Structure 1
Amino acid sequence: MTSSSSEHMGGPSTEEVCAALRALGTKVPEEGHDLSRAQALGLLLMTVEGALVAEDDPLALEAARQGYFSGLVGQVKVAGYPNGSWDAPLQEMWVRCLELRTLRSAYDWSNLRQELPADAGERSSWAAVDALLSAVADLLNPFYPRLHEENVTYVSRLRAAFRSAGAHIVSARRGMEAHRRYLKDRGFTA
């Protein structure tokens, strides 16, 4: 199996990810296949997210969030942080996970947009969603505290995030206005 350098940074190996997929009942090729670690992680992520797609019960979603958070606590324990000093690493990991999830969503959304008909273009509110996802990811970035970071670095990351998010928000607003005009030109009220 193919592996990556992140495998040596404490993450699960390709074999462990594939074992988790098999435990969930997902068909995964046996040893010697060309499934990379990243592909195995993506398959595992889709398997889990796919199971949650049907969940619209707030209690089930809260239970899933608690399970997710328990996984983060487990990672903090494995990393060797002593009990009682978990707040900072948990906050860092939690916000970083949200940022990366948003970035993955933006990436998936961009790929989905490529499948749209050519005439959808920038008139569509799809462009606004793309810009807003990028703005959210930019705003989340400075809010996870890199442990032992100087305040000066944090402030500069915060300024850069606000500047970048502001540009994305302006772009989203333009996309929404363009879509409104497009609908109005076709007789719809928006």
Structure 2
Amino acid sequence: TNIATVMSHHIDEMNHRRRSGSSLRLILAWLATLILSVKGQLSGSTMVVADAAAIGVGAVCGALCRHHVGQSVTKQIAKDPKRFGHLTGWHTAGINVLGSFVLGGVFASPVVSAAAESAPSSTAATSAASKVPTSFGLTARAKLLMGVGFCGSFTTFSTYSVDIVNMIGRGEAARALGYVAVNNVGGISAAAAGMLLVRKLIAGK
């Protein structure tokens, strides 16, 4: 009886250890899953922050460029208002057309990975040929910086709309119509030109 009791106690102890070991393995597996999940979330958050920073930098640069162009044009008009007074406000149309051209080029540029940009060329024919990039394009983050950030801040549809309303309010219907044509037709044409130029450059490589 004593032997049976001891054996039964020993078996119970082994079962308890086995259950404890299984519980420990489950806890470790759960912790590993939790760590991987947190790591993935942190990595995703880092990507979001980096993208937001790229857009922010581009937006600041675009806004400053637009402000500088506006200030420069205003100063030039103020120096000789009789000669350039009729061009007041038209710099906005020029900005929108130029921004459309740049955005068209950015849109047409293929997306390349950062690793592909930093990887050395596998072609080693000549020293001159090695200087020619094997790929042409922009990283996804560069597109955010230039397209969403810079062009989105450099061009301005709101100022264009206010200018149109002011022209109509002053009875300058013909000028307003020309302003619409330059912004819309000119902007669309410039965007198409930017796309065609980049695609031609890509095809020529």
TM-score (norm 1): 0.31
Larger helix fraction of residues: 2
Structure with larger RCO (C-alpha < 8 A, sep 6+): 2
Task: Indicate the structure (1 or 2) with the bigger Cα radius of gyration.
Answer: 2
